[in-house]
Structure 1
Amino acid sequence: MANHALLSSDDHLTLRIIPQRGADRGDAVMACLIVPTEFRRVQNDFPILFRLTPQRDRFQAFAMFGFEQGENLFLQDNHWDAGYLPLAMQIQPLLIGHPATEGGDKQIHIDLDSPRISGSEEGIRLFDDLGRPTPYLETMAERLGELDAGWQANDDFFTALTRHELLEPLTLEITLNDGSTSRLVGYHGIAEERLQQLDAAALGDLQAGGHLMPVFMALASLANVAELRDRKSLRVAMHG
């Protein structure tokens, strides 16, 4: 269970965060939520897929790291084996909290039950001895701001994709080197044929909203399914 608290130098002056990657730090996940503003960076390494929320009321975007729950094919012991780490993973165990008063500034919260919280002298402090934010916290605050801005633009992006019928159900089934298969089901992808049929007005609408580039980035990212397959084949060969 998460244990969120408002981050403050009074309460968390000596608290340290462990930035290293690892399954024991919460990184053994098959996917991570991402926002359209980081699609360009994500698509270099990971397939980008879309999925309805459990309430089925809106879509969310994911960077895919594996084919099954708890499988992260980019996690090699304590090393992140990819050129990019999505923002939602970079900022852990910090998160954006609602403002204390209506119309006020959003606040930084921290999950005190996170395995990234250090129980020793290991890790990086968030505040110095005078209670000032460390460079590490300042960097994390910038990334939290970028992620929050991305969330604010999320609804417009998916509204535009729905308006132009650019999302279609997608099942990915791949055959590994040993002949076994892995599947990703329940996801959506960009409808490439539909995208190619859009007229100039529709393309102009997407471009004006800043949505056209993320659409192409998501489409291009599917080339990384082959990389995911190769990583899975290697892991199966090594560990069975």
Structure 2
Amino acid sequence: MRLTYFLARNAQNGSYTISALTSFNAGKSLLVNNNQWQALYTPVCMQTHPLHLMTREANSSDYFIAIDEQSSAVNSQHGEALFDAKGNPSLFLNSQQKLLESDLKNDYQTYQFTQEVARLGLIKNIDIVLQFEQGETQTIQGLSTVDEDKLQTLDSNTIAELQKKGYLSVLNSMLISLFQLNALVKLHNQHSDLKPLKQIKLELSRDSHAL
């Protein structure tokens, strides 16, 4: 299954990041079945868990690999070794480090992308209104998407610059990904423990406005 992508704002610094919606219920993912990830794309954080890149000081570029020792993935009996018999990083650990470093670069590229999109006023804040079969409604707030109307009004020079930076294809992909919400509704309705959904609507948020 393909993912639906939204822009989400960091409450601490106001910047945007790109997130995928995997469920309409907090603490549950519809894309996990029998402990297996079902989407076509697997996030790097899932590939590298329980390893993380950290710094000793804020704004430092001196990164080191840390491990969540409380994770159930950590044990001394089986799995991938982190170090060889001589105490050197194993091939597995080296490959994980490369993944983490690549993901860090991708995070910075995402930051540059969202900064440019916000500067151009191409972000609009939306609500996802869930309509259940029994008549109840529920609203998911705090998400944003691409303002397609404003995107279409950009002048040719701006469009060319977005194309040159590779941003235009990302913007269009985010818009196309919204259609995957229907597939997420179908997955939701396959779970007997969840209230069945009749339909969902995307509405312009009433509590905030796009930058």
**Smaller-chain TM-score range?**
0.7 to 0.9
Aligned-pair CA distance for 1:229:
0.6
Q: Does structure 1 residue 224 correspond to structure 2 residue 177? A: no
Q: Does structure 1 residue 82 correspond to structure 2 residue 42? A: no
Superposed counterparts of 1:1-240, under 5 Å: 45-55=2-12, 57-98=14-55, 105-118=62-75, 120-175=76-131, 181=137, 183-235=139-191, 237=192
Change (3 A) 1:160 1:224: same
Aligned-pair CA distance for 1:132:
3.2
Distance 2:124 2:61 in 1: 39
Q: Find the residue that maps to 2:190 and give its secondary structure.
A: helix
Q: Which amino acid aligns with 1:106?
A: Y
Distance 1:239 1:185 in 2: 20
Deviations 1:36-76 (A, max 9, x none): xxxxxxxx611111111122521121111111211100111
Q: Find the residue that maps to 1:224 and give its secondary structure.
A: helix
Aligned-pair CA distance for 1:201:
1.3
Q: CA RMSD in A?
A: 2.5
Q: Find the residue that maps to 1:162 and give its secondary structure.
A: helix
Aligned-pair CA distance for 1:178:
6.5
Structure 1: runs of 5 or more not aligned: 1-43
Structure 2: runs of 5 or more not aligned: 196-211
Question: How many residues matched?
Answer: 194
1:160, 1:206 within 8 Å by CA — same for their partners in 2?
no
Distance 2:2 2:73 in 1: 24
Distance 1:145 1:200 in 2: 36
2:123, 2:144 within 8 Å by CA — same for their partners in 1?
yes
Matched-pair identity in %: 24
Distance 1:104 1:86 in 2: 23
1:178, 1:233 within 8 Å by CA — same for their partners in 2?
no
Aligned-pair CA distance for 1:99:
7.0
**Quick one: higher RCO (CA 8 Å, sep 6+), 1 or 2?**
1
- Give the TM-score, by structure 1 length: 0.71
